[in-house]
Chains A and B, each alone.
Chain A
Amino acid sequence: MSDPQLTTVEPPRTDDAGDGTAHGTGRTRNPDENAHARRFSPGWIVKLVLVGLVDALGVYGILAASGVQAWWIVVFLVFALALVNWAYFSRRAVPAKYLVPGLIFLLVYQLFVMLYTGYIAFTNYGDGHNSTKSDAISAIQLGNQVRVEGSPAYPVTVVLQGNDLGFAVVQDGKAVVGTADEPLAPAQGATVAGQQVTAVPGYQVLSFADIAQRSQEVTALAVPVSEDAADGTLRTQNGTIAYVFAPVLEYDAKTDTFTNTQTGVTYTASDQGYFVSSSGDKLEPGWRVGVGFSNFTEMFRNSDLSGIFAQVIVWTFAFAFLSVAITFFLGLFLAIVFNDPRVRGRKVYRALLILPYAFPGFVAALVWRGMLNPRFGFVNEVLLGGAQIDWFGDPWLAKFSVLLVNTWLGFPYMFIICTGALQSIPGDVTESARMDGAGPLRVFRAITLPLLMVSVAPLLIASFAFNFNNFTLIYMLNNGGPQFVGAPVPVGHTDILISFVYSIAFGTGGHDYGLAAAVSILIFLVVGLISWLGFRQTRTLEEL
Chain B
Amino acid sequence: MATTTSVEPRSSAVPGSRPRASAPVRFGRWCKELGWRHLVGVVTIVFCVLPLLYVLSASLNPSGTLTGSNDLFSTISGANYGALWSKGFGDWARNSIIVAVVTSIGTVLMGAAAAYAFSRYRFRGRRGTLTGLLLVQMFPQLLAVVAIFLLLINLKDVFPLLSTNSLPGLIAVYLGGALGVNTFLLYGFFNTVPRELDEAARIDGATHAQIFWTIIMPLVTPILVVVGLLSFISTYGEFIIAKTVLTSSSKWTLAIGLYTWASDERNAPWGLFAAGAVLAAIPIVLLTLFLQKYIVSGLVSGAVKG
Residues of chain A at the chain B interface (Cβ within 8 Å): 1, 4-5, 7-13, 16-20, 22-29, 43, 57, 61, 64-65, 67-68, 70, 72-73, 94-99, 101-103, 105-106, 108-114, 116-117, 120, 333-334, 337-344, 347, 349-364, 366-371, 373, 376-378, 381-382, 408, 412-413, 416-417, 419-428, 430-431, 451, 454-459, 461-462, 465-466, 468-469, 471-472, 498, 501-502, 513, 516-517, 520, 523-524, 527-528, 531-532, 535, 541, 544
Contacts and interface: CB of A to CB of B under 8 A. Distances in A.
The secondary structure that dominates the B interface is helix
Contact of A113 (B49, B65, B144, B255): B144
B15 interface: yes
Contact of A117 (B72, B147, B229): B147
B67 A471 contact: no
A334 B15 contact: no
Contacts of A10: 207-210, 212
A337 B230 contact: no
Given A9-B209, A350-B288, A363-B277, A428 B301 contact: yes
A423 B295 contact: yes
A111 B148 CA distance: 11
Interface of B: 13-18, 20, 33-34, 37-38, 40-41, 44-45, 47-52, 54-55, 65-68, 70, 72, 105-106, 109-111, 113-114, 116-118, 121, 123, 126-127, 129-131, 133-144, 146-148, 150-151, 154-155, 157-159, 161-162, 168, 172-173, 175-181, 183-185, 187-189, 191-192, 201-202, 204-215, 222-223, 225-226, 229-230, 233, 236-240, 254-255, 258-259, 262, 273, 277, 280-281, 284-285, 288-289, 292, 295-301, 304-305
B141 A24 contact: no
B114 A98 contact: yes
Contact of B51 (A371, A419, A423): A371
A382 B180 CA distance: 43
Contacts of B18: 431
Contacts of B176: 105-106, 108-110
A73 B158 CA distance: 9
B287 to A, nearest CB: 9
A235 to B, nearest CB: 31
Contacts, number: 421
A24 B123 CA distance: 25
A58 to B, nearest CB: 10
A355 B277 CA distance: 12
B65 to A, nearest CB: 7
A417 B226 contact: yes
Contacts of B137: 462, 465-466
A2 B161 CA distance: 13
Contacts of B67: 369-370, 373, 376-377
Given A4-B106, A502-B142, A367 B48 contact: no
Nearest to B130: A544
Contact of A373 (B51, B68, B133): B68
A64 B158 contact: yes
B181 A339 contact: no
A459 B137 CA distance: 10
B237 A359 contact: yes
B237 A361 contact: yes
A356 B52 contact: yes
Nearest to A422: B15
Contacts of B254: 360
A377 B66 CA distance: 9
Contacts of A498: 140, 142
A109 B16 contact: no
B129 to A, nearest CB: 7
Contacts of B127: 541, 544
A462 B134 contact: yes
B284 A114 contact: no
Contact of A456 (B141, B188, B206): B188
A536 B295 CA distance: 30
B301 A427 contact: yes
A378 B70 CA distance: 6
B50 to A, nearest CB: 8
Given A339-B16, A459-B181, 13 more contacts: A23-B210, A61-B158, A72-B154, A113-B147, A120-B146, A362-B262, A369-B67, A416-B295, A419-B226, A455-B185, A456-B185, A462-B180, A544-B118
B178 A102 contact: yes
A368 B51 CA distance: 7
A191 B294 CA distance: 84
B121 A424 contact: no
B45 A349 contact: yes
Contacts of B175: 4, 105, 109
Nearest to B201: A24
A524 B139 CA distance: 5
A22 B48 CA distance: 51
Contact of B184 (A4, A61, A337, A459): A459
